Amino acid sequence: MSQKECVIHIFETLQGVATLGQLYALVDTSIWKTKTPYASIRRIVQTNKEFFKIKPGLWGLSHQKDMIIKNLHITTNTTENPHFTHAYYQGIITELGALRGFQTFIPAQDKNKLFINKPLKDIATLDTIHTFTYLELVNKAKTIDSIWFNERKMPHAFYEVEHSTDFKNSLNKFFELQDFRSKFYIVADKKRKAQFLSIMENSIYKPIKNFVNFADYESIVKQYENESMKYEMGI
């Protein structure tokens, strides 16, 4: 079986859709005569007509393209499905947290949304949020898209995915949680960074301006892929 055939085989076991992180974990590269198997996997999916790009870090089998687009409720034009996009990056962020050794939580209202072909509730490591402070603030926190908790059951990082809204609802949540020594991230398309920076100039957000960070989709996916490689290499 050639390297490309090995990759195609894994795609077929995953209903024709896979993240690069999944490919790094599942493709048997032990017989490949290369010192850089993960680079080879990337090259195979990026340069062969048998594969097509769905999102950053997410690929599909070309001969199943119509079925994949239908099953994932996405389009191939500029009008994207915001629900798919939101759940996809929510899942990537949550898996990234688990790879880094954190406990992860997603809101109850999102648990049945699909991350590729499985519900988000199967991605998060926590069923319920840790009661890390007063109930009023915990109730605010448990609506945030993805939370990473450390071994002391305290929030290490809060993530809000902002695909189409104006950031303010997410920033208002962060404002309420500003007294915690946690990291706060808005995750969105890099084209929206200027809009984010403009909103952060509003005087109401001055108390949180210096510790709310913007992360674009591509950078989040890159971090996820890098952590997946480290995990598979035992680093």
pLDDT level of residue 235 (50, 70, 90 thresholds): low
Spell out the residues 6+ positions from residue 202 whose beta carbon is closer than 8 angstroms to its own.
none
pLDDT tens sequence across 141-159: 999 999 999 999 999 999 9
**145 in Cβ contact with 93 (< 8 Å):** yes
Does residue 234 register a pLDDT over 70?
Answer: no
**Distance between CA atoms of 213 and 206, rounded to whole angstroms?**
13
Pick the more confident residue, 82 or 121: 121
Q: Map out the domains of the chain with their CATH numbers.
A: 3-74 (1.10.10.10), 82-225 (no CATH)
For residue range 8-48, list pLDDT tens digits in order: 999 999 999 999 888 998 999 998 989 899 999 999 999 99
| Planar angle of CA 214, 107, 158, nearest 5 degrees | 30
Smallest CA-to-CA distance from 105 within 117, 118, 90 is with: 90
* CA pair distance 14, 98, nearest whole angstrom: 21
State residue 165's pLDDT score: 85
Q: In whole angstroms, how far apart are CA 17 and each of 89, 161, 197?
A: 15, 22, 35
Name the amino acid, one letter, at 218: E
Angle, CA 71 vertex, CA 229 and CA 18 arms, to 5°: 10
pLDDT computed for residue 79 by the predictor: 43
Measured over the CA atoms of residue 124, residue 126, residue 132 and residue 138, the dihedral's sign is positive
Is the pLDDT score of 74 beyond 50? yes
pLDDT at 116: 86
The Cα 89–Cα 97 span in angstroms is 12
What percentage of the chain carries pLDDT values higher than 70? Answer: 95
